[in-house]
């Protein structure tokens, strides 16, 4: 944890709002999934699933990631955040745009509200991208982890650019292919280019640190970086310019092998760890890393088709998105919240008291029992939703949906307890 203690760390007022908004977004997301009900088994491009997806990847995942990244920039880049004022302004702009965008999707306002919401979201994300790039420019540390992060930032810009083009096309109809074709590109560069690369970049620093692992082979990370970017760039250019299905498996294979290199790096860190007992945060993290195999296998099934009827193929495609967003990304965020946020708040509340009086540990800022309950309920949610999507079973999906609501409630309780923690001073006994 000491690695996170940096004089370059931003003020807690920059980081905290992102976690508060993200935790509330998870609660909203769980309610949206309950309300969507039968729509979850329909085509993945219906208005309810599009709204849920954007609330999940922007309101929940990206908002939390933004806050965490602001705190971790001093660790990954070894420099301070370029502008804290810009970060605060971006938060409010991004938060409003997320709600606006989600509402536009939910009601199907594709030809009017969606355009304005998309432009606003693009502007907010552009400000975030500029802030991180300017921070990186001042960086003294240009290692493989920082390369993953800054490359992910560029892919984020590309993701939102494509998304904005799709939104504008609903009204002006200037793209040559159908919307679903570009939606595929938008999803791929967002989930792989933005989230996967960012997670690998940050994870390659934090996972060995939290496990206390040393002497790891960074060549595996370099291989992962090269293969994933080549694969994603190849897919994107092919889908944009050529659309040759015969070469798609080659780029898929490059990405899959790149992911396996990262998995091998994490596995080495796990084997060489000094800290043998995993806390609740690292249990989430390890399960998240293991779950990365699910979307790889499912994407292969979707790509090959294997003679599946259209309705089953649609559900399997939805399952692919689910395993990426909830199996991999959300599981990781739920765990890393308990590694990052308590330290941010502890540093803000107790930094000036260290050595003067006894202070609680960062992990004592939240309830371990609530975190464990959240962990096991989340596993139930994952299993129920996967079974429901595979077997077209609404009962399982409804059980999973209400279980996620319980998870969100427990997560919010802990997050708010951490964020609004009151200083506890214990005088040293003579």
The conformation of residue 138, written as its DSSP 8-state character, comes to: T
Classify residue 362: in a domain, yes or no: yes
pLDDT > 70: percent of the chain: 96
Helix segments in 141-247, DSSP class H: 144-172, 179-188, 197-211, 219-237
Choose among 91, 87, 115: nearest CA to 101: 115
Q: Quote the mean pLDDT of the chain.
A: 92
pLDDT category at 153 given cuts 50, 70, 90 is very high
Q: Cβ distance 159 to 190 under 8 Å?
A: yes
Q: Cβ distance 124 to 94 under 8 Å?
A: yes
Domains held by the chain: number? 1
- What number is the average pLDDT over the span 62-87? 92
The conformation of residue 428, written as its DSSP 8-state character, comes to: P
Q: Cβ distance 350 to 401 under 8 Å?
A: no
Domain hosting 289: range is 2-350+357-419
Classify residue 429: in a domain, yes or no: no
pLDDT at 330: 97
pLDDT at 245: 86
pLDDT tens for 136-147 read 998 876 789 999
Angle value at C-alpha 176, between 243 and 126, nearest 5 degrees: 90
pLDDT category at 220 given cuts 50, 70, 90 is very high
How far apart CA 276 and CA 265 sit, in angstroms, is 17
Classify residue 289: in a domain, yes or no: yes
Choose among 149, 155, 153, 147: nearest CA to 185: 155
pLDDT at 3: 46
- What number is the average pLDDT over the span 159-180? 92
Q: CB-based contacts of 300: which residues, under 8 Å, 6+ apart?
A: 252, 256
- What number is the average pLDDT over the span 185-200? 96
Choose among 381, 325, 331, 295: nearest CA to 58: 325
Furthest-apart CA pair in the chain: how many Å? Answer: 78
Counting beta carbons within 10 angstroms of the beta carbon of residue 241, is it exposed (0 to 12), middle (13 to 18) or buried (19 or more)? exposed
Does 324 score more than 60 pLDDT?
yes
Report how far Cα 55 is from the mean position of its chain's Cα atoms: 12
pLDDT at 427: 60
Q: Cβ distance 67 to 13 under 8 Å?
A: no
Classify residue 209: in a domain, yes or no: yes
Q: CB-based contacts of 181: which residues, under 8 Å, 6+ apart?
A: 239, 243
Choose among 174, 155, 28: nearest CA to 115: 174
Distances (CA, A) of 331 to 8, 16, 288: 29, 20, 5
pLDDT at 133: 95
pLDDT at 358: 84
Q: Tell me the two tokens of residue 197.
A: 């690369």
pLDDT at 359: 85
pLDDT at 310: 80
Distances (CA, A) of 209 to 74, 286, 332, 421: 15, 14, 16, 26
Classify residue 430: in a domain, yes or no: no
Classify residue 427: in a domain, yes or no: no
Does 260 score more than 60 pLDDT?
yes
pLDDT at 132: 96
pLDDT at 357: 80
Counting beta carbons within 10 angstroms of the beta carbon of residue 416, is it exposed (0 to 12), middle (13 to 18) or buried (19 or more)? middle
pLDDT tens for 363-411 read 999 999 999 999 999 999 999 999 999 999 999 999 999 999 999 999 9
How far apart CA 87 and CA 63 sit, in angstroms, is 12
pLDDT tens for 12-56 read 999 999 999 999 999 999 999 999 999 999 887 899 999 999 999
Does 343 score more than 70 pLDDT?
yes
pLDDT tens for 267-300 read 999 999 998 999 999 999 999 999 999 999 999 8
Tokens 């992911």 correspond to 259
pLDDT > 90: percent of the chain: 79
CATH code: domain of residue 108: 1.20.210.10
Report how far Cα 370 is from the mean position of its chain's Cα atoms: 22
Does 1 score more than 70 pLDDT?
no
Classify residue 424: in a domain, yes or no: no
How far apart CA 46 and CA 180 sit, in angstroms, is 11
- What number is the average pLDDT over the span 117-128? 97
pLDDT at 4: 52
pLDDT at 426: 63
């Amino acid at each position: 944890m000491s690695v996170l203690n940096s004089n370059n760390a931003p003020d807690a007022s920059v980081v905290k709002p992102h976690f508060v908004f993200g935790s509330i977004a998870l609660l909203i997301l769980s309610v949206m999934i309950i309300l969507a009900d039968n729509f979850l088994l329909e085509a993945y491009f219906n208005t309810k699933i599009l709204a849920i997806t954007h609330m999940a990847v922007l309101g929940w995942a990206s908002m939390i990631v933004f806050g965490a990244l602001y705190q971790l920039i001093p660790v990954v880049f070894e420099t301070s955040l370029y502008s804290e004022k810009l970060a605060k302004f971006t938060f409010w702009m991004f938060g409003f745009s997320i709600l606006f965008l989600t509402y536009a999707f939910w009601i199907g306002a594709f030809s009017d509200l969606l355009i304005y919401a998309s432009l606003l979201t693009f502007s907010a994300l552009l400000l975030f991208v500029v802030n991180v790039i300017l921070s990186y420019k001042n960086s003294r540390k240009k290692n493989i982890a920082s390369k993953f992060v800054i490359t992910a930032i560029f892919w984020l810009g590309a993701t939102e650019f494509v998304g904005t083009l799709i939104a504008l096309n609903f009204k002006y109809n200037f793209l040559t292919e159908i919307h679903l074709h570009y939606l595929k590109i938008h999803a791929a560069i967002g989930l792989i280019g933005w989230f996967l690369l960012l997670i690998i970049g940050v994870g390659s620093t934090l996972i060995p640190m939290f496990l206390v692992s040393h002497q790891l082979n960074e060549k595996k990370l370099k291989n992962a970086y090269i293969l994933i970017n080549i694969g994603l760039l190849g897919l994107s250019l092919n889908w944009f310019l050529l659309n040759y299905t015969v070469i798609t498996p080659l780029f898929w294979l490059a990405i899959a092998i790149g992911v396996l290199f990262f998995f091998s790096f994490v596995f080495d860190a796990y084997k060489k760890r000094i800290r043998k007992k995993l806390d609740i945060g690292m249990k989430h993290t390890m399960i998240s890393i293991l779950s990365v195999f699910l979307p790889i296998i499912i994407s292969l099934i979707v790509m090959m088709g294997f003679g599946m009827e259209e309705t089953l193929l649609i559900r399997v495609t939805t399952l692919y998105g689910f395993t990426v967003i909830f199996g991999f990304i959300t599981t990781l965020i739920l765990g890393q919240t308990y590694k990052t946020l308590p330290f941010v708040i502890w540093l803000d509340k107790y930094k000036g008291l260290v050595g003067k009086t006894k202070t609680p540990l960062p992990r004592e800022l939240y309830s371990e029992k609530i975190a464990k309950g959240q962990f096991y309920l989340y596993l139930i949610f994952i299993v129920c939703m996967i079974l429901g999507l595979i077997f077209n079973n609404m009962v399982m999906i409804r059980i999973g949906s209400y279980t996620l609501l319980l998870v969100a409630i427990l997560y919010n309780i802990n997050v708010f307890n951490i964020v609004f923690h009151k200083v506890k001073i214990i005088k040293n006994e003579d």
